[in-house]
Amino acid sequence: MSEEVTSTRAKKNELWEWTRALVIAIILAFLIRTFLFAPFIVEGESMETTLHNNEKLVVNKAVYYLREPKPGEIIVFHAEKTRDYIKRVIAVAGDTVEVKNDQLYVNGKLVEEPYLAQHKAEARRQGEPFFTNDFPPVKIPADHIFVMGDNRLNSHDSRAIGPVAVSTVVGRAEFTFWPLADVRMAR
């Protein structure tokens, strides 16, 4: 009889250990997804050629608990109640941003944008006079950033929606993980 009791206790103990491990794993997954990292699917062509439609990437949520977004970083933010956008940070609070003659200026200084070279060359071949249309100086208010897609001819960004509140930023795009053939850092 004591062997049966011992065997039953061992089975209950093993079941409890498995249950506890599973609950801990679920809690850790929830915490990681909520506060540290999240998957994101690129929808549309606004970030071509840097990121492509339907690519899957990892968004680092933790980085902006420690600091504000910086120019050049690719971020995901809540643009609408049910939709997130992915764009590049161009300017931050206090900056003045404008485009003149297809050139980006932040605080009156020309900003080099090597990630646009392929797009600009293609636009010229297709007879487009400019890749980024001119817009007058925009002063970025406190707690906001100015974002634009890398595919300037096909991007709904701060030029249309205005500066983005930092509080709506989900995180920074770190790397693509799907499709597997295109795994790379998101820069």
**Residues taking part in catalysis:** 46, 87
- Cβ burial, residue 79 (10 Å; 0-12/13-18/19+): middle
Which tokens hold the place of 1?
A: 């009889």
Pairing of the two strands 169-178 and 74-80: antiparallel
Which tokens hold the place of 139?
A: 């002063």
Nearest residue to 148 (alpha-carbon basis) of 86, 96, 103, 101? 86
Identity of the residue numbered 52: H
